[in-house]
Structure 1
Amino acid sequence: MHASVLVAYGTKNGSTAGIAEAVADVLNKAGVTAEALPAATVPDVKPYGAVVIGGALYAGHWQRDARRFLGRHRRALAGRPVWLFSSGPLDASASERDIPPVPGVRRAMIRLDARGHTTFGGCLGEDAEGRLARSIVRGGKGGDFRDFAAIEAWAAGIADELLGLRNAAGAV
């Protein structure tokens, strides 16, 4: 297994990017080389031994760049360890219970034989782009609902699994 992990993400207002960067930081601190990149900027996944893909949720769908990433790299992702995460609930629900993946993400998990998925709370601040997002914030429904302790724990589990795979394969 390659030692490098890609954490690709699709985001509109930056919340999912913050989660992806936290995941990459945890992986790096655990000794797994990782980098977080916007999904739209990744030309090839072949240099990576494993991939984590995150997408912001909008009206029950992953953000467009994350969906397109899955389509573009579907064949190359096959056979690699893959994890998925979603971000979006603008309340504490993601910290209180497991939220299953939306149908499109569930289908991608099956196609890719993904090792896991989780949903984290989202963040929508005063600087949000888009008419609907600004309306949500003006209506008092915005805020930061990301649980970084949960994000770090999830990423640590991925690091443990990857380090176990590396040790089982005899790689350094």
Structure 2
Amino acid sequence: MTAKVLVAYGTTNGSTAEIAETVAEVLRTEGLTAEALPARTVRSVWSYDAVVVGGALYTGRWHKDARRFVRRHRGDLAARPVWLFSSGPLDPSASERDIPPVPGVERAMSRLHALGHITFGGCLREGARGRVARMILRGGKGGDFRDFAGIEDWAREVAADLTSDVRAGRR
């Protein structure tokens, strides 16, 4: 049996969506059925064997769509394997060291018994929406700090965990 995995994400300017799409593509390459969807569009997680939830970080908080998704589906998420990711630092720090989850994500991890979390570098480009984003860009702090090789490695680890659980009959 092939595990069906949802990669749900909260994003404002599309950077976290690109990370989620990369995660889903790697999961598919590793033999799983996976789809990436905006968290706000997901009505149910019931048909999925596992879920990855990602959210952009804004001023120390996970994107509101990711927070709402976890709150809305908490019971169903707690009954299946869950991994979380954050995207956000606009510097190379996420590629240089492990960045712990922000407090709200840490609480979600605990409540869901999440199997893991990682923080990836963020991306903020000219034309980004939002007052804070424009201020950051005016201050010269924009750029693309995502490490797609690292994202792919992490997704392969998630796939390995899932395929070993499916082979062992656990979920």
TM-score by length of 1: 0.97
Counterpart of 2:53, as a letter, is I
Alignment map for 1:1-172 (pairs within 5 Å): 3-169=3-169
Offset of 1:121 from its aligned partner?
A: 0.3
Relative to structure 2, which stretch is displaced further, 130-139 or 101-110? 130-139
Contact map agreement 1:2 1:48 (CA 8 A) in 2: no
Q: Distance in 2 between matches of 1:8 and 1:97?
A: 25
Displacement after TM superposition at 1:151 (Å): 0.2
Q: 2: distance between equivalents of 1:170 and 1:98?
A: 29
Q: Counterpart of 1:6 in 2: which secondary structure?
A: strand
1:97 is aligned with what amino acid?
R
Shift of 1:170: 8.6
For residue 46 of structure 1, give the secondary structure of its aligned residue in structure 2: coil
Instruction: After TM superposition, give the deviation of residue 137 of structure 1 in Å.
Output: 1.1
SS across alignment from 2:100: coil
Q: 1:138, CA displacement in angstroms? A: 1.9
- For the 8 Å contact 2:23–2:152, the answer to whether it is kept is yes
Query: TM-score scaled by structure 2?
Result: 0.97
Cα distance, 1:62–1:28 mapped onto 2, change above 3 Å? same
Q: Unmatched 5+ residue regions in structure 1?
A: none
Task: Tell me the CA shift for residue 21 of structure 1.
Answer: 0.3
Contact 2:17 2:38 (C-alpha < 8 Å) held by counterparts: yes
Cα displacement (A) at 1:2: 6.5
Q: Aligned partners of 1:35, 1:101: CA distance in 2, in Å?
A: 24
State the alpha-carbon separation in 2 of the partners of residues 62 and 136 from structure 1: 18
CA drift of 1:68 comes to 0.2
Q: What is the Cα deviation at residue 111 of structure 1? A: 0.6
**Alpha carbons 1:2, 1:49 under 8 Å: kept:** no
| Residue ranges of structure 2 left out of the alignment (5+ in a row) | none
Cα separation, 1, equivalents of 2:72 and 2:87 = 21
- Matched length: 171
